[in-house]
Amino acid sequence: MAYRVCFPEQHLVAVEDCEVGEPGPGQVRIRALASQISNGTEGILLHRRFVPGTHWQNWFDSRGGYPWRPGYALVGEVVSAGAGVDLRPGQRLACRAGHASEQVVDVAHCHPLDGAQDPQAAAWFALAKITFMGALAADAVLGEPVVVVGGGPIGQMAARWLRAAGAQPLLMVDPVEARLVHARRIGATALCGPVADLVEAVRAATGGGAAVVVDATGHAAVLPHALKMARDRGQVVLLGDCGNPGLQCLTGDVVSRGLRLVGAHDCHVTGAWNERRIVDLFTSMVRDGRIDLTGLTTHVVPARRAPEAYAAIDRDPAGTLGVVLDWQA
């Protein structure tokens, strides 16, 4: 019998058994190897930390609320393929699919992986896509000073894309020293402390402000400080949902210094950059070392013990970056 992760009600995580049907046309049945928890998104849904009237509420309601079945970053392999699907059993895939030992998914949401890749590393593909959208929204950064505010999973991955795009110097700002280790590993300058206290240090280290500031914190109160960190005519990229954007307020810097603010979101695929192409790029850059995932997966938990994984995130949000459910354990 297959099993999957479920939030039966607010604050509760369970593992439940489930039936798995056969794949129809354009579908594939997959067996999970590893799936990454999205600390931000899944935490918001588990604890219902969203404001009524937001798109969060709309999304939650449109799928019937609790019981909620979380997850969107799974690496698995093909068990069987439906009509018209040209994938062989055993083919490894990156799938936009929930945390389940086996399930049927549309091939449109599955992207072939090279069998040699580590499933736990490959499970970063979904955060890689979100953050690539931020890198695309940023101006060209070759040789330009760039600051990433926030060293959580989104900030870490955004920093890797920007590093791969030639940002120099690359800075990361976070109040938690343990996260900054991961910035230093990729050659970034790491500044530890509350964002409000680091504006001047960032301006000094970037020669008067960054060309691009990425706010990867999801906290509304950060924006005014992020704006101060940009150089005149510089750019601030808002990456990742802020639960309460109505509290994200400007400063006089926007008008007086001609700053540019742009939002980036997972859904901003274009004709040129769809999910498949981004996954392929991510994979090739991990393989050749331009994106270094070393150390980013901080927790691996056997899938049967999924509630412990969510508990770990709640207990120590700053200490959890990549949290992976291991379906082979």
Binding residues for a second copy, per CB under 8 A? 54-55, 132, 135-137, 140, 142-143, 161, 164-166, 168-169, 187, 223-224, 233, 238-242, 245-265, 267-268, 271, 273, 277-278, 281, 284-285, 288, 290
What is the smallest separation between the CB atom of 141 and a second copy, expressed in angstroms?
Answer: 8
- Comparing C-alpha atoms, which of 299, 295, 290 is closest to residue 325? 299
Distance of CA 218 to the CA centre of its chain: 12
Q: What is the nearest approach in angstroms of a second copy to the Cβ of residue 246?
A: 5
**In the bound complex, what is the minimum distance in angstroms from residue 118's beta carbon to a second copy?**
20
The amino acid sitting at 237 is: V
Find the shortest distance in angstroms from Cβ 198 to a second copy. 20
3-state secondary structure 62-75: HCCCCCECCCCCEE
To a second copy, the closest distance from the beta carbon of 229 in angstroms equals: 16
Name the residue nearer to a second copy (CB basis): 119 or 145. Answer: 145
90-95: list long-range contacts, CB under 8 Å, 24+ apart: 92/33, 92/117, 92/119, 92/122, 93/28, 93/30, 94/122, 94/123, 94/125, 94/126, 94/279, 95/30
Q: Nearest distance from residue 218's CB to a second copy, in Å?
A: 10
Which of 82/243 has CB closer to a second copy?
243
CB closer to a second copy, 17 vs 288: 288
Q: Please give the angle made by the CA atoms of 263, 265 and 267, to the nearest 5 degrees.
A: 135
Contact 2, 17 (CB under 8 A): yes
Question: Which of 112/224 has CB closer to a second copy?
Answer: 224
Distance CA 199, CA 209 (A): 9
Report the residue number, 80 or 251, with the smaller CB distance to a second copy: 251
Of 71 and 134, nearer to a second copy (C-beta) is: 134
